[in-house]
């Protein structure tokens, strides 16, 4: 195992593959800040470019694109209250209030630190506990998945501790909105009202933009001249620093978020969205001052960002070791590997150790 790890480092740290990774991460960040595009569209557009590359370079570019997109959405989420991807929706609750308080630089830096730390922990867990996590995921049946989904919904409903009934009502509204579209088992259209555009269901990012972004635009339009907008002078390099004690305060949230993300990333159909909401709910429950959440609590940025990045890493475990993609993005990655004559499965690490 150690020999394979060293061989992997040797391959990954070559100048050519580092360049491919840089290109993927750079483009991913540019695409991530554009709400509504996401990793799926980005990988779909750049997949043909990788045909002429060697397998390792192609996968590193696509993986960098995926990770860059996962992180890049935090920028517009914090500055504009527009979640770039569904996984960043919960970051709006505290990231944008921090920006409005003149702490946009602190929020962006914490998102960067949390994302890097969560991704690193996710990679280490993937290397160390990949087979065990796969075995655990195999033991999850319909009852366990239902329990996890119910736990996630209950966690989301408790985000508004001052009005729990309001939180439960919003969860029910979300469930009703999620029913819209075509049933994957029977093929029957539900609540589409004969509108072809609703056959694929409601787009999460579009709904999130309407709930967070458009509402915020209208609010600022109604407050022109009051000085409540985020000042561009507060988002320079000098503002990218944390206040005294904030890193120490956020470290437990980052570690817990990484663990939550690593677990949910392995389970097909869950991923970063549920992990982010679960992390936020956990941090709010464990905090001695939960009333700060929703008003610029830095743990509300640190935990979900760490969980999102960690889940993005461990999502590769079932894809690589079993050939089972957990979501549409992993299905594209699976297709990219097969294009380059890499067959995912239990023999992958033996046949392609790098």
Rounded distance between C-alpha atoms, residue 76 and residue 298, angstroms? 17
pTM (2 d.p.): 0.71
Provide the number of structural domains found in the chain: 1
* Per-residue confidence (pLDDT) for residue 233, from 0 to 100: 45
pLDDT digits (tens, 9 = 90+) for 75-85: 888 888 877 77
Task: Report the pLDDT averaged over residues 92-106.
Answer: 86
Q: Give the tens place of pLDDT for each residue, 304-339.
A: 999 988 888 888 877 777 677 767 778 778 878 877
| Residue 255 clears pLDDT 90, i.e. is over it | yes
**pLDDT band (50, 70, 90) for residue 213:** low
d(CA 75, CA 305): 12
pLDDT one-digit tens code per residue, 37-69: 777 778 888 888 887 788 888 888 888 888 888
- Label residue 290 by pLDDT band (50, 70, 90): confident
Alpha carbons 311 and 343: distance in angstroms, whole number: 23
The per-residue pLDDT for 332 is 79
Mean pLDDT value across the chain: 78
For the chain, what is the HEC assignment?
A: CHHHHHHHHHHHCCHHHHHHHHHHHHHHHHHHCCCCCHHHHHHHHHHHHHHHCCHHHHHHHHHHHHHHHHHHHHHHHHHHCCCCCHHHHHHHHHHHHHHHCCCHHHHHHHHHHHHHHHHHHHHHHHHHHHHHHHHHHHCCCHHHHHHHHHHHHHHHHCCCCCCHHHHHHHHHHHHHHHHCEECCCCCCEECCCCCHHHCCCCCHHHHHHHHHHHHHHHHHHCCCCCCCCCCHHHCCHHHCCCCCCHHHHHHHHHHHHHHHHHHHHHCCCCCHHHHHHHHHHHHHHHCCCHHHCCCCCCHHHHHHHHHHHHHHHHCHHHHHHHCCCCCHHHHHHHHHHHHCCCCCCCCHHHHCCC
Task: Report the percent of the chain where pLDDT is more than 70.
Answer: 77
User: Which domain covers residue 84, as residue numbers?
Assistant: 2-224+232-351
- State mean pLDDT over 223-250: 65
Cα gap 179→182, rounded to integer Å: 8
């Amino acid at each position: 195992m150690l020999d394979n790890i060293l061989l992997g480092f040797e391959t990954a740290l070559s100048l050519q593959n580092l360049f491919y990774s840089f290109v993927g991460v750079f483009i991913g960040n540019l695409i991530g800040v554009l709400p509504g595009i996401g990793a799926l569209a980005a990988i779909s557009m750049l997949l043909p470019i990788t045909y002429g590359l060697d397998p390792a370079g192609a996968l590193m570019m696509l993986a960098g694109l995926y990770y860059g997109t996962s992180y890049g959405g935090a920028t517009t989420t914090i500055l504009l209250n527009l979640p770039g991807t569904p996984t960043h929706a919960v970051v709006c609750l505290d990231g944008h209030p921090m920006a409005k308080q003149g702490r946009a630089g602190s929020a962006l830096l914490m998102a960067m630190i949390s994302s890097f730390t969560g991704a690193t922990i996710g990679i280490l867990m993937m290397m160390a506990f990949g087979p065990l996590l796969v075995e655990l995921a195999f033991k999850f049946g319909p009852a366990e998945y239902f329990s996890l989904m119910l736990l996630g919904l209950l966690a989301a409903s408790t985000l508004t501790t001052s009005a729990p009934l309001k939180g439960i009502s919003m969860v029910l509204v979300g469930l009703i909105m999620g029913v819209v579209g075509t049933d994957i088992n029977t093929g029957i259209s539900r609540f589409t009202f004969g509108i072809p555009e609703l056959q694929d269901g409601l787009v999460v990012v579009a709904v999130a933009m309407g709930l967070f972004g458009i509402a915020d635009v209208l609010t600022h339009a109604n407050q022109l001249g009051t000085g409540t907008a985020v000042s561009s002078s507060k988002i320079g390099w000098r503002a990218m620093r944390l206040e005294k004690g904030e890193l120490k305060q956020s470290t437990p949230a980052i570690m817990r978020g990484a663990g939550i993300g690593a677990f949910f990333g392995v389970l097909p159909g869950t991923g970063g969205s549920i992990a982010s909401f679960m992390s936020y709910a956990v941090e709010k429950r464990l905090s001695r001052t939960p009333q700060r959440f929703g008003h610029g609590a830095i743990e509300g940025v640190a935990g979900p960002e760490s969980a999102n990045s960690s889940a993005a890493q461990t999502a590769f475990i079932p894809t690589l070791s079993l050939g089972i993609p957990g979501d549409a993005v992993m299905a594209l990655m699976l297709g990219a590997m097969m294009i380059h004559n890499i067959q995912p499965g239990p023999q992958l690490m033996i046949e392609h150790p790098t």
